């Protein structure tokens, strides 16, 4: 890798730039170029009917400007434009857009494709960068400017034939970011002088980052420079069209909006030539997360992804912002705990979204909370507790969460896999609930006495016996009956709650006991709270006996 053959991009000298002090408070005009720029980047471009289906989905999403193709490029492109017009598929509040190079036969064919359209954006472009002028065209600055002016004049002529009021003109100095700014401004102003925009007939000047050549702030400087120097600025809509060669098209677009642009051309999920276009979904959802009405509907992202993948043959990456299958999922224990606490805190202010690690509410884009927290060897107690409470109603005590979290980590690590909710629940029951060996509770009775007395029938190591105990309460009496037969322990904490509602509801009791200073946990489930409590004690005692036996074997 020889880095010396590359040269750093020389930034624009704009010391009084204003864009860093601005914020975006309203949605730009969105223009989807999925059917043109996105389509031409596919290994297998969409057929006419596929494009029609994609187009219908763009309408449902709320796009009011849609670039439908390059009609002069092929018969398929031409016929698609004609199909939209002849089948009356363009709603009254939607404007289609078509693209053409500054060549007479292409411009003529482009206007032919729009015959009968109520309204259309006709997009003229020619490349203006120093590199393109020298390497591709071998033309001077004046010759390239004349090429733009030639196309602009032809637009006027053909528009008059079909009805000037039907068309919105757009011009792009292609490879704008590699063009000298004074020259880009000179070319754009020449086009504006020919088109003569006014308040009723505004013109779009599109400033494409055809190839990303510098950091996003440089693009913002370039756009702010153009916004300052374009003639008749009040009658010009400044548009953006950023590509993603450096992986910063979204950032470049956001900064350029701060620099004065009012319109964004882009594609869903960033599909486009080379590394792609600016991703409209990500830009829009970034604004949405800041409380901006984006004027687009992404409330069913899974459906949108399905349509996109079917139409394009592309796959949406599982970590794609806002849309990926894993973006609302946390495996890290600390993340899971924070999300769980944030979701619980929402109950006190449901009108204000404030959940750590989740910039938006997943339900806004058609996702549920269920997959937010998933469990693997990197997970912690908070995530495990969240899953078990959400799916099974278990409200595990804090210290028990820590213990079970370590159990889960060990199992997930050993199996090198994610544990699903049902696997977690099965593991929890196996680890703590109603453990009956070597001690099993067969039956019990509370006997009348000055103090609480419990008589119980147990099975210990296969031998049945009756035990009795007295205490200052039901649980204390049972413990005093069990300890002489097993081992000494002290109850440190217990809690209980119902698992379901109704007359047949079951209860679960969590028990924490201390044996020689070591904490041991057990749980019991029963339709009777008393029985669940005794089963929890038995489960904890069995865990302690198993641990004691294991230590003996080690010795």
Which residues of 177-335 form beta strands (DSSP E)?
203-209, 236-242, 263-266
d(CA 444, CA 260): 80
Superfamily of domain 439-554: Alpha-isopropylmalate synthase LeuA, regulatory domain (3.30.160.270)
pLDDT exceeds cutoff 90 at 207? yes
Instruction: Find the mean pLDDT for residues 357-375.
Output: 81
At 97, the pLDDT band (50, 70, 90 cuts) reads very high
Each residue of 413-434: pLDDT tens digit? Answer: 888 888 888 999 999 999 999 9
Each residue of 184-198: pLDDT tens digit? Answer: 999 999 999 999 999
Q: What is the pLDDT of residue 373?
A: 63
At 181, the pLDDT band (50, 70, 90 cuts) reads very high
Of all residues in the chain, what percent carry a pLDDT higher than 70? 96
Q: What is the pLDDT of residue 380?
A: 65
Q: What is the pLDDT of residue 190?
A: 98
Instruction: Find the mean pLDDT for residues 351-358.
Output: 92
Q: Which of 74-88, 291-305, 311-325, 378-392 has the lowest mean pLDDT?
A: 378-392
Q: What is the pLDDT of residue 427?
A: 96
What does the CA dihedral 392, 398, 399, 402 come to, rounded to 10 degrees?
A: 70
Cross-sheet strand order for the sheet of 518-526: 490-498, 507-515, 518-526
Each residue of 229-257: pLDDT tens digit? Answer: 999 999 999 999 999 999 999 999 999 99
The SS3 call for residue 164 is helix
d(CA 283, CA 434): 53
Q: What is the pLDDT of residue 176?
A: 97
Architecture of domain 23-312: Alpha-Beta Barrel (3.20)
pLDDT exceeds cutoff 70 at 205? yes
Query: Between the CA of residue 149 and those of 91, 119, 125, 186, what are the distances in Å?
Result: 33, 23, 11, 11
At 337, the pLDDT band (50, 70, 90 cuts) reads confident
pTM of full prediction above 0.85 = no
Give the distance between the most distant pair of CA atoms in the chain.
Answer: 111
Instruction: Find the mean pLDDT for residues 290-303.
Output: 96
Q: What is the pLDDT of residue 395?
A: 92
Instruction: Find the mean pLDDT for residues 118-133.
Output: 96
Instruction: Find the mean pLDDT for residues 506-514.
Output: 95
Task: Work out the mean pLDDT of the chain and round it to a whole number.
Answer: 93
Burial class (CB in 10 A: 0-12, 13-18, 19+), 408: buried
Each residue of 38-94: pLDDT tens digit? Answer: 999 999 999 999 999 999 999 999 999 999 999 999 999 999 999 999 999 999 999
Q: What is the pLDDT of residue 251?
A: 98
> Tokens 């927290």 correspond to what residue?
373
At 550, the pLDDT band (50, 70, 90 cuts) reads confident
d(CA 51, CA 390): 42
Q: What is the pLDDT of residue 376?
A: 66
Instruction: Find the mean pLDDT for residues 467-473.
Output: 92
In the beta sheet, which residues pair with residue 120? 96, 167
Which residues of 114-197 form beta strands (DSSP E)?
120-127, 167-174
d(CA 66, CA 35): 8
Instruction: Find the mean pLDDT for residues 536-554.
Output: 89
At 555, the pLDDT band (50, 70, 90 cuts) reads low
Q: What is the pLDDT of residue 145?
A: 97
Q: What is the pLDDT of residue 65?
A: 98
At 367, the pLDDT band (50, 70, 90 cuts) reads confident
Q: What is the pLDDT of residue 144?
A: 96
DSSP letters along 230-261, please? -TTGGGEEEEEEEB-TTS-HHHHHHHHHHTT-
Each residue of 152-161: pLDDT tens digit? Answer: 999 999 999 9
Domain boundaries, the chain: 23-312, 333-430, 439-554
d(CA 307, CA 134): 42
d(CA 539, CA 431): 9
């Amino acid at each position: 890798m020889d880095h010396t053959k590359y040269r750093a991009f020389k930034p624009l000298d704009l010391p009084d730039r204003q864009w860093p002090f601005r914020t975006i408070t309203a949605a730009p005009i969105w223009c989807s170029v999925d059917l043109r720029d996105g389509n031409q980047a596919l290994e297998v471009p969409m057929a006419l009917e596929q494009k029609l289906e994609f187009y219908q989905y763009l309408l449902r999403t709320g796009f009011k400007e849609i670039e439908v193709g390059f009609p002069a490029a092929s018969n398929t492109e031409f016929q698609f434009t004609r199909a939209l017009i002849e089948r009356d598929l363009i709603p009254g509040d939607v404007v289609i857009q078509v693209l053409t190079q500054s060549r007479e036969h292409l411009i003529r064919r482009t206007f032919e494709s729009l015959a009968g359209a109520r309204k259309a954006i006709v997009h003229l472009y020619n490349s203006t960068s120093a590199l393109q002028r020298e390497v591709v065209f071998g033309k001077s600055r004046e010759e390239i400017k004349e090429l733009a002016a030639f196309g602009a004049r032809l637009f006027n002529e053909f528009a008059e034939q079909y009805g000037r009021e039907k068309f919105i003109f757009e011009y792009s100095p292609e490879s704008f970011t590699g063009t000298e700014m004074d020259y880009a401004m000179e070319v754009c102003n020449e086009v504006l002088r020919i088109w003569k925009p006014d308040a009723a007939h505004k013109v779009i000047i599109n400033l494409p980052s055809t190839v990303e050549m510098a950091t996003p702030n440089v693009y913002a400087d370039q756009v702010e420079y153009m916004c300052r120097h374009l003639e008749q600025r009040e009658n010009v809509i400044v548009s953006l069209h950023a590509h993603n060669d450096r992986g910063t098209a979204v950032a470049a677009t956001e900064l350029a909006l701060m620099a004065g642009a009012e319109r964004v051309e882009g594609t869903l999920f960033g599909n486009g030539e080379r590394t792609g276009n600016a991703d409209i979904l990500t830009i829009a959802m970034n604004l949405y997360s800041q409380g901006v009405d984006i004027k687009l509907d992404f409330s069913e992202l899974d459906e949108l992804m399905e349509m996109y993948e079917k139409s394009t043959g592309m796959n949406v990456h599982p970590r794609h912002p806002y849309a990926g299958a894993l973006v609302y999922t946390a495996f890290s224990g600390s993340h899971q705990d924070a999300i769980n606490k944030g979701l619980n805190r929402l109950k006190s202010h449901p009108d204000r979204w404030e959940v750590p690690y989740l910039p938006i509410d997943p339900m806004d884009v058609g996702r549920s909370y269920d997959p937010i927290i998933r469990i693997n060897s990197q997970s912690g107690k908070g995530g495990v507790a969240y899953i078990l409470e959400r799916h099974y109603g278990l409200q595990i005590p804090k210290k028990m969460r820590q213990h079970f979290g370590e159990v889960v980590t060990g199992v997930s690590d050993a199996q090198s896999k994610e544990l699903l909710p049902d696997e977690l629940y099965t593991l929890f029951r196996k680890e703590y609930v109603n453990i009956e060996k070597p001690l099993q509770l067969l039956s019990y009775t509370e006997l009348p006495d000055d103090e609480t007395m419990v008589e119980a029938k147990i099975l210990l190591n296969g031998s049945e016996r009756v035990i009795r105990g007295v205490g200052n309460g039901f649980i204390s009496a049972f413990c005093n009956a069990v300890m002489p037969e097993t081992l000494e322990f002290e109850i440190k904490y217990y809690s209980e709650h119902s698992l379901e509602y109704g007359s047949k509801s079951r209860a679960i009791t969590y028990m924490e006991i201390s044996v020689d200073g070591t904490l041991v946990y057990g749980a019991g489930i029963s339709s009777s709270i008393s029985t669940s409590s005794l089963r929890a004690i038995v489960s904890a005692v069995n865990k302690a006996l198993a641990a004691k036996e294991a230590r003996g074997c080690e010795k």
